[in-house]
Amino acid sequence: MGLSYENGIESEPLFDPNILKALDFSKSKVIFDPPISVIDPGENLKVRPLCSGDYDRGYLKLLSFLTKVGDISRKQFLDRFHAMSSCKGMHYITVIEDTVSGQIIGSATLAVEQKFIHDAGFRGRLEDVVVSDEYRGRQLGKLLVETIRLLAEHVGCYKITLDCRDRMVKFYKQLGFQLEEGNSNFMTVRFQD
Amino acid sequence: MGLSYENGIESEPLFDPNILKALDFSKSKVIFDPPISVIDPGENLKVRPLCSGDYDRGYLKLLSFLTKVGDISRKQFLDRFHAMSSCKGMHYITVIEDTVSGQIIGSATLAVEQKFIHDAGFRGRLEDVVVSDEYRGRQLGKLLVETIRLLAEHVGCYKITLDCRDRMVKFYKQLGFQLEEGNSNFMTVRFQD
């Protein structure tokens, strides 16, 4: 099963699609009912890396359900896309496409930080998880989170963390994330709204 | 005032030292008593970017006061250093050197994540803050944190966050970091100890 976005520069993936296909969902402790995975996410859906052509497939509109995005031009999008892809192994934005509408309907990011601590290790972060409202009830949020968790382990992260609102704590606990005793606060300074 | 580490490849800084010198401590709301800053951190001390030669200046030993580091070879250190420096604008490891002993005695990191949200913005993270025990009481932890906060604003981050143990919350509150109502949990999955 190949990605069908390989006819020209517009189709460049942010990272090697084979990494997603290599994830071993049989190792997952998360129960999907009915069973779904990266390879088989549901009818007319495809899980794949963000591609440079996704500017025209509603990717930024999807992100706007999450938070402020702003008016990003095609050039800005492609400049940022290429800045990300040139830093190998650091940005794994994984999306779900509806292959009928051709629109991006879900997304989650594994952001990797290079460290000197932990044997010059990698720390993973789960960021910017979003699924379009119309696709609720199809386990797609759960699928994206578990995909990113398996991906973080696959690429050698010593841990993955996420910043989390109170109302989402229960959801992420079910997916194996823990509030560690005495070490679960994140603090913020905002420079812009 | 120039950095004195410019005699060969061993002296390569991780990022442009002028960025640190440009930080405007007059804008700081943090009170230092006696007054210190990046330019004048105290007698026989220098604040500067991590340099490739710091493998021989006790940098990894300093990090081991913070957490597990492991046995990192010179090659591993340099490979990671160059991987970081090749991703422009993402890794700002800032250190304090004791210019008499030639040892690194403090360090803090601004890790920058590239986003599409927030006008294709940058999110900053304060990571791995450590000061050698012998240098306690000289406001150096406070200086490093305020340096990284000003640096994050200077390089255009829309916010900076940090993950924080309960016992450090008070310290970071004094430095302007906030636990935001309903949005201050971080959750973890560990793959290795």
CATH number of the structural domain spanning residue B78: 3.40.630.30
CA distance B106 to chain A (A): 15
Give pLDDT, residue A9: 42
Residue B187 lies in a domain: no
Shortest Cα–Cα distance, B43 to chain A (Å): 28
> Does residue A59 lie in a domain region?
yes
Asked whether residue B190 is assigned to any structural domain, the reply reads no
Q: Please name the helix (run of DSSP H) or strand (run of DSSP E) that holds residue B20, with its range, or none.
A: helix B17-21
DSSP state of B156: T
Q: Residue A29: its chain B contacts at CB < 8 A?
A: none
Q: What is the pLDDT of residues B146-166, one digit of tens each?
A: 999 999 999 999 999 999 999
pLDDT for A10 equals 54
In chain B, the residue whose alpha carbon lies closest to the alpha carbon of A153 is B191
Alpha carbons B139 and B33: distance in angstroms, whole number: 8
Inter-chain touch B117–A164, beta carbons under 8 Å: no
Local confidence band at B27 (pLDDT 50, 70, 90 cut-offs): confident
Size of interface A-B (CB pairs under 8 A): 198
How much is the mean pLDDT over chain A?
93
CA distance B180 to A54: 33
How far apart are the CA of B179 and the nearest CA of chain A, in angstroms? 5
| Contact between chains at B120 and A187 (C-beta distance less than 8 A) | no
Q: What distance in Å separates the CA atoms of residue B15 and residue B50, rounded to the nearest whole number?
A: 8
Range of the structural domain that residue A67 is part of: 9-174
A77 in a structural domain:
yes
Rounded to whole angstroms, how far apart are CA atoms B110 and B127? Answer: 6
Work out whether strand A103-114 and strand A122-131 pair parallel, antiparallel, or are unpaired.
antiparallel
Nearest to B96 by CA among B147, B52, B56, B34: B147
Is residue A136 assigned to a domain?
yes
User: Which helix (H) or strand (E) segment is B29 a member of?
Assistant: none
Domain for residue A153, yes or no?
yes
For residue A115, the chain B residues in CB contact (below 8 A) are: 127-128
Contact (Cβ atoms closer than 8 angstroms) between residue B88 and residue B13: no
On chain A, the residues whose CB falls within 8 A of the CB of B69 are 116-119
3-state helix, strand, coil in chain A (%, to 5): 35, 30, 35
Check: CB of residue A144 under 8 Å from CB of residue A107.
Answer: yes
In angstroms, rounded to a whole number, what is the distance separating the alpha carbons of residues A129 and A106?
8
Task: Write the residue in A70, A187, A192 that is nearest to B177 by C-beta.
Answer: A187
- 193 residues of chain A, pLDDT tens digit each: 334 444 444 579 999 999 999 999 988 989 999 999 999 999 999 999 999 999 999 999 999 999 999 999 999 999 999 999 999 999 999 999 999 999 999 999 999 999 999 999 999 999 999 999 999 999 999 999 999 999 999 999 999 999 999 999 999 999 999 999 999 999 999 998 7
Q: What is the ipTM of this complex?
A: 0.91
Q: Does B3 map to a domain?
A: no
User: Which residue pairs, CB below 8 angstroms and at least 24 apart, start in B68-74?
Assistant: B68/A117, B68/A118, B68/A119, B68/B193, B69/A116, B69/A117, B69/A118, B69/A119, B70/A118, B70/A119, B70/A120, B71/A119, B72/A116, B72/A119, B72/A120
Angstrom CA distances, B16 to A62, B26, B30, B50, stand at 37, 21, 25, 10
Number of domains in chain B: 1
Residue B164 covered by a domain? yes
pLDDT digits (tens, 9 = 90+) for A74-129: 999 999 999 999 999 999 999 999 999 999 999 999 999 999 999 999 999 999 99
Q: In what order do the strands lie in the sheet with B103-114?
A: A45-49, A91-98, A103-114, A122-131, A157-164, B185-190, A185-190, B157-164, B122-131, B103-114, B91-98, B45-49
For A188, other C-beta atoms within 10 Å of its C-beta total 16
**How many angstroms separate the first and last alpha carbons of chain A?**
43
**Residue A173 CB partners (closer than 8 Å, separation 6+):** A179, B187
- Residue B70 pLDDT class (50, 70, 90 cuts): very high
Dihedrals phi, psi of A72, to nearest 5 degrees: -95, 120
